[in-house]
Structure 1
């Protein structure tokens, strides 16, 4: 089979399934994985797809730099398997007597069902929704950051919230954003970015929850530079190029396996 014919079949497969796995392509075409990945690199250079650590996905247009917040009914609905896997792995970093920050994004809310129940720790949050859920858990001491209530979101991010969070010292903060690149975590509003910077500043360890759909996208304003992140948790569908750029900034990147969440 000619290389162009093989690549056309790969493209047809990815258009049908939304993604391809390098191992599956290797078996289908009876080729080494390295040869398949060379094909995928050529196709990525042609703008036909985006390489991931597991294979490739369709090359989708970048989202707008500013988008309206999702309503809480969508934000806190059922998460995708890869998002749930990232949430679960993030929760596994919480240790005995830790003080941690958990924000109000959907993937942060997804951590709640995976939080440890067999030892005490403290959670600080700026999300009314998260505060309402964790206050019922006996092993968790919880604090809600105060400030102006917003109609569009249960998260509190104004100047009062920034002043209040600056008075704490936090062992680990779990951060995310609408976009994550080698430049940093970015978001749609200057207020949200300023609050994330304030949380990062008072935290000893910073863990970024980075599902593949956020990777490689730059939103309106950068909240913190990527080199301030200690650990990034993503999934195997994340852009290989973006991850390599981030790793060059000395950020430890770890992958969450969605197979680990089947029992939940």
Structure 2
């Protein structure tokens, strides 16, 4: 098969499925992964797709720098497989007697079903939704940060009162995220949200960024925390290869959650 014909077939697959995996393509066409990567690089230069660490995805439109908050039914609904894999891996970093911060984003909410249940630790949150889920768990001591209630915030406090209160604590780990994550740092749509996340990152001994691929390589309205403040970033194989290389240049450790393993476990439990 000629290379051009192979690329047309790759394009057909990615248009139908939204993404391709380099190893699967190599097996399908019986060629080396390096040859597939060269194909994907050429197709990326032609503007046909975006290379990722595991293969490629269709070009996603660049999001607006400010977007409305998702309704709770979407934010806290069924997570995509890659998001669930990131949440699960993040929860595994919690150790006995740790004090950790978990905010009210959907991917942070997704951590709750994976939280350790066999040893004691403390969780601080600014989200009423998270606090309600935690308050009956016997092994977890939980604290809810107070502040102004907002109708569009899914019950998360991010005002000056919340910032003043969070600064009274010291954290072992903070799990933080944002609408945009690139080599400059984590960004979000509102100055208040950015200021609160920045305060959290400044009082934490270890900052772990939860970075689903749809957020990676994008920048939102205002910067929350510089990439230099991040110790570890957890993402998935759909993340932009170029964006990940730029983030690694900031000496940030980047690890990839295993989506297939998470999906296999979920299927076994179903």
Are residue 27 (structure 1) and residue 27 (structure 2) matched?
A: yes
Are residue 242 (structure 1) and residue 259 (structure 2) matched?
A: no
Write the mapping of 1:53-72 to structure 2, written as runs, cut at 5 A.
Answer: 53-72=53-72
Q: What is the aligned partner in structure 1 of residue 191 from structure 2? A: 190
Write the mapping of 1:19-98 to structure 2, written as runs, cut at 5 A.
Answer: 19-98=19-98
CA shift for structure 1 position 259 = 2.8
Q: Structure 2: which 5+ runs fail to align?
A: none
Are residue 146 (structure 1) and residue 122 (structure 2) matched?
A: no
Write the mapping of 1:115-134 to structure 2, written as runs, cut at 5 A.
Answer: 115-134=115-134
Are residue 225 (structure 1) and residue 226 (structure 2) matched?
A: yes
Q: Supply the distance in 1 between the matched residues of 2:85 and 2:196 (Cα, whole angstroms).
A: 26
Q: Supply the distance in 2 between the matched residues of 1:118 and 1:260 (Cα, whole angstroms).
A: 22
CA shift for structure 1 position 73 = 1.7
Q: What is the aligned partner in structure 2 of residue 167 from structure 1? A: 168
Deviation string 1:39-60 (CA, Å, 9 cap, x unpaired) is 1011111211011111100011
Are residue 15 (structure 1) and residue 19 (structure 2) matched?
A: no
CA shift for structure 1 position 5 = 2.0
What secondary structure, in the 3-state scheme, does the structure 2 residue paired with 1:214 have?
A: coil
* RMSD over aligned Cα atoms: 0.9
CA shift for structure 1 position 100 = 0.1
Q: Supply the distance in 1 between the matched residues of 2:156 and 2:125 (Cα, whole angstroms).
A: 9
Count of residues in Structure 1 that have an aligned counterpart in Structure 2 = 264
What secondary structure, in the 3-state scheme, does the structure 1 residue paired with 2:265 have?
A: coil
Q: Supply the distance in 1 between the matched residues of 2:107 and 2:18 (Cα, whole angstroms).
A: 22
Q: Give the alignment's TM-score, normalised by structure 1.
A: 0.98
Structure 1 residue ranges, 4+ long, deviating more than 4 angstroms after superposition: none
Q: Supply the distance in 1 between the matched residues of 2:51 and 2:89 (Cα, whole angstroms).
A: 23
CA shift for structure 1 position 28 = 2.1
Q: Structure 1: which 5+ runs fail to align?
A: none
Structure 1 window deviating more from structure 2 (200-209 vs 70-79): it is 70-79
